[in-house]
Amino acid sequence: MNNSPLVSIVIPVYNGSDYLAEAIDSALAQTYDNIEVMVINDGSKDNGATRNIALGYGDRIRYFEKENGGVASALNHGLREMKGEYFSWLSHDDVYYENKIEKQINDLIIYGYPYVLYSDYEIINEYGKNEEFKILPVIESSQFRYWLASEVLLHGCTLLIPRKCFDKAGYFDEDLITTQDYTLWNKFLDYYQFRKTRHVLVKSRRHKSQTSNRMQTKVIEECNVLQKNFFDSLIKDKFHIGNRESLKKLVIKNLERGYFKSSLYAFKKMYGFESSFISKIKFLIQFLFILIIRFTYSKISILFISH
């Protein structure tokens, strides 16, 4: 592929010897030739197991080691060191389809610059067996931020991102552990549009040792902040004009998810948007009903877990 842009595939890893080789192999097997594969060892403490796997690939990959700082810091390290025009994130426990990069580069020719591309993906279990396919809808640009906040289905490893997007919107927030990706995608939407590549291009692995499974309290805390930021961005976009019902659905959905702080924050703003007294009362009753049910459920869950 003459004159084809260089794509940097960045693989952040911490104690990832179980799956790292499979991820690297899938990156190196891409049908698109002009790539660099970068492995960022985020201070693994596994007696050199992760390091040894990476070094076994020799000069077929670029290998970096750093002190442990989290996924965001490892991704940012890759961004600072990458040589490519495009960035593609691959989690150490996920797998690319061999045509992932080629399909998206081909779509760039159709869509043009500067779009962020995403795709459908497959869910696999810890043994690599298929569990389900996530086929995402094609979302209009004006609706994309709302869809992102409401459905939370976009998978970061399906994205192909122009390097210039980071220069404009910034890097991943290293203070965040679980929402560093969606926080940045929300910022991207201030400047860029997302477009879908209509193919399944990534295998996303579910397993017990994932951060989201080990840090539920932190997940809730960060998601509350994320959803507050989404809501503020939607209001800034003037999305609420003609879309009050959609925003009310988002408030209720976040309440059902257990994001009490962001739901209350959004409810206060939404309540002020309601034009009639009856409409306000209906929204208040609905909000309080879901709040009571969700709060009671969480208390019962905690009781059972503690026993």
Give the E-state strand segments of 29-108 in sequence order. 35-42, 62-66, 86-89, 95-96
* Per-residue confidence (pLDDT) for residue 63, from 0 to 100: 98
3-state SS assignment for residue 1: coil
Residues 6+ apart with CB under 8 A from 165: 114, 116, 188, 191, 192
Report residue 86: phi and psi, to 5°: -130, 145
**In the block, residue with structure tokens 């906040």:** 149
**In the block, residue with structure tokens 């003037």:** 238
164-208 pLDDT per residue, tens: 999 999 999 999 999 999 999 999 999 999 999 999 999 999 977
CA distance 277 to 295: 27
Residue of 196, 213, 193, 195 lying closest to 205 (CA atoms): 213
- Report the pLDDT averaged over residues 152-175: 97
Lowest mean pLDDT among 42-46, 141-145, 208-212, 230-234: 208-212
Pairing outcome for strands 115-124 and 161-162: unpaired
Phi-psi region of 87 (alpha: psi -120 to 50; beta: other; left: phi over 0): beta
Query: Does the structure show a pLDDT above 70 at 306?
Result: no
* Sequence spans of domains, the chain: 7-210, 215-306
Top CATH class of 7-210 equals: alpha beta
Assign 245 a pLDDT band (cuts: 50, 70, 90): confident
* Per-residue confidence (pLDDT) for residue 268, from 0 to 100: 81
Query: Does the structure show a pLDDT above 90 at 97?
Result: yes
* Per-residue confidence (pLDDT) for residue 1, from 0 to 100: 45
Residue-averaged pLDDT of the chain: 89
Q: Specify whether the CB–CB gap between 148 and 230 falls below 8 A.
A: yes
Assign 264 a pLDDT band (cuts: 50, 70, 90): confident
Q: Specify whether the CB–CB gap between 221 and 261 falls below 8 A.
A: no
Residues in the chain: 307
- Report the pLDDT averaged over residues 281-305: 62
CA distance 183 to 145: 11
Lowest mean pLDDT among 22-36, 164-178, 207-221: 207-221
